[in-house]
Chains A and B, each alone.
Chain A
Amino acid sequence: MSYITVDHVTREFKSFKRPQGLKKALSTLLDRSYDVKKAVDDLSFTIEKGELVGYIGPNGAGKSTTIKMLTGIITPTSGTITTGGLVPWENRKENAKHIGVVFGQRSQLNWDLPMEDTFELYRRMYGTDKVQFRKNTQMFTELLEMQSFLNKPVRQLSLGQKMRAELAIALLHDPDILYLDEPTIGLDVVVKDKIRKFVRELNREKKTTVILTTHDMADIEEICDRIIMIDHGTLMLDQTLATFKSQRADQYYVEVAFQYLKKPLSFNGVELVKEQPFCHTYSINPRLVSMNDLLSSISELFEVTDITIKKPEIDEIVRKIYTSQSGEKSGQL
């Protein structure tokens, strides 16, 4: 059996229908009708030990609900989940010892305590062995570069410092699974980078299974090996990152900067998508146009000063999938 199994899981929420108008609003005091919304709808997937999984989807897709069920905070309406052989909500406390959770949007730190003191409290809470604890504290302090603020009260730390601290306390007890719910939200590039490198390093050293939700596709690109995408609570896609990228790379872009041109490129498989003075961007369909033909036409028609070839970013692929799913016409670059 797989390390994490999500088997036909559905989670419903009842939400109160709010009618318009005072009279109707008053009548709801006595007689209410509810909308039943399925936040997660018949979802199944499995994850093996040591995998780095990016769990993505548009806002409201059901990501947080899934994480809440995996961590044992809420129970599903139907279906089963096991993580490391335990049903999270039935063995909540036992399960909690084996997981680490970081919610990017809310803090678990004590505002008034320096990190060091919180570390010690968490060591006691999880009953972590002292030697192991010291080793971990040292490793995390070094990798996340936390020496300078270990003994400052948390309220004086910057957002980036706080997030690093959150990560460290979630991991002091050597959890088998790490859940990261938007860990890089609001952080600057340098801190984001530190965090991404740290998670990869952690996975290499300790074989920690990581499940990460994010809206920043660079997180996925740099941390994950596999993508699970959901929308409207159902599974849309479950692939390795490599497959995901290669399958969808059916288009690339060429940006040509020039001093003058005879005429713009125009033949089958080439499309002008952005026109700026002295700079054109074309989208190229590689099945219709060979790179050779393309380059020779460019050198024939343009007096080129610079040329850039861009593969579609994972960001863009995802944007396309999201928008096509919500029924809109698939957007262009």
Chain B
Amino acid sequence: MFGLYGAFAKVAFLTQLEYRGQYFMRMIAKLLGWSSGFILLVILLNKVGPVAGWGLYEILLLYAFDVLSYSIAGTFFMGGFGKLPRLIRSGELDGILTKPVNPLIYLICTKISAGYTSNYVIAGAMIGISLHKLGITLSLYQMIWLILDIAGASLIQAAGFMVTTVPAFWFLKSDGLYRLFYRNLTSFLQYPLTIYHGGIRFLLTFLLPYGFINFYPVQLFVNRQEGMPSPIFLFLTPFVGAGVFFIAYRFWKKGLNAYQSTGS
């Protein structure tokens, strides 16, 4: 079964590479966009110095975690969920529902996006450079945690994509939610959460657990324990990721059911 979905994903991925012109344009746009983000951050931090005690490379590490997990989630979820309202209106979703497949996996695989690969390179390089500049060499144990954390963070990002776009099943449009509850709120993640008011920290930890994308897990590698009620928060990201993704999946199922029983 995995082979089948893999084949769909492979086709979707490779056909995007076929449009070489468009692919490279997107690459260049993304490279410029994200690296200018990094550069701005560097310039800003060079002027103002450490933020809440966090130095330049620690903050770059935060940023790189966010970019990398966002890009991984985007690879799988942006194509399907970013255009969910259109898929519903055009009837493409109906087509999926007449096939003997799991609609979510089919949607993810056939809409996989090849446009984020350059981000992997930038963010990966930023993580490497930051760790090097901070004089940190990862032990095997930390390596494993790095991978688990990126996986967990990607699941949180994916859940963010899903939960803010699935309401399209009820409302047929959901762009506002996506912007407000996902794009806007994740922009807090550029800096350590300790610089914000306690209310925002509470929001980003317990209500919308975006803090687990970078702020909490990164502290394991830079040897800090700030803004957390318990050191266990250093290790929660994979579990939070699995948990919120499960909730998002249930929400998707609910949305799909609603579409089938009340939808247009």
Contacts and interface: CB of A to CB of B under 8 A. Distances in A.
Interface residues of B, number: 24
Contacts of B102: 93
10 contacts: A73-B260, A96-B100, A99-B98, A106-B91, A106-B94, A106-B95, A113-B15, A117-B11, A125-B4, A126-B100
Given A74-B261, A103-B91, A96 B98 contact: yes
Contacts of A283: none
Contacts of A112: 15, 18
B101 interface: yes
Contacts of A97: 100
A89 B260 contact: yes
A124 B95 contact: no
Given A75-B261, A94-B100, A126-B100, A121 B95 contact: no
Contacts of A124: 3-4, 7
Interface string A95-109: 011010101011010
B175 interface: no
A103 B98 CA distance: 11
A106 B260 CA distance: 19
B99 A75 contact: no
B50 interface: no
A68 interface: yes
B173 to A, nearest CB: 13
Contacts of A74: 259-261, 263
Contacts of B92: 106
A125 B100 contact: yes
A13 interface: yes
B97 interface: yes
A233 B157 CA distance: 44
Contacts of B8: 121
Interface size class of A (residues with CB under 8 A): 20 to 34
A125 B99 contact: yes
The 5 tightest CB contacts between A and B, nearest first, are: A112-B15, A96-B100, A101-B98, A73-B97, A93-B100
Contacts of B230: none
B97 A92 contact: yes
A17 to B, nearest CB: 15
A78 to B, nearest CB: 11
B252 to A, nearest CB: 15
Interface in B88-123: 90-92, 94-95, 97-102
Contact of A103 (B94, B101, B260, B264): B94
A101 B91 CA distance: 13
Given A73-B97, A93-B101, A93-B102, 4 more contacts: A74-B259, A75-B261, A101-B95, A106-B90
B243 to A, nearest CB: 27
Nearest to A112: B15
Given A121-B7, A121-B8, A108 B101 contact: no
A75 B260 contact: yes
Interface in B1-22: 3-4, 7-8, 11, 15, 18
A22 to B, nearest CB: 21
Interface in A264-323: none
A110 interface: yes
Nearest to A124: B4
Contact of B99 (A14, A94, A96, A110): A96
Nearest to B94: A73
A133 to B, nearest CB: 14
B98 A110 contact: no
Interface string A1-17: 00000000000011000
B262 interface: yes
A40 B222 CA distance: 63
Nearest to A107: B95
A93 B97 CA distance: 8
A28 B90 CA distance: 27
A99 B98 CA distance: 8
A71 interface: yes
Contacts of B94: 68, 73, 103, 106
Contacts of B98: 71-73, 96, 99, 101
A68 B259 CA distance: 12
A81 B98 CA distance: 16
A182 to B, nearest CB: 12
Nearest to A96: B100
A14 B95 CA distance: 23
Contacts of A121: 7-8, 11
A155 to B, nearest CB: 11
A202 to B, nearest CB: 18
Interface in A41-70: 68
A66 B95 CA distance: 15
B167 to A, nearest CB: 16
A68 B260 CA distance: 9
A14 B101 contact: no
Contacts of B260: 73-75, 89
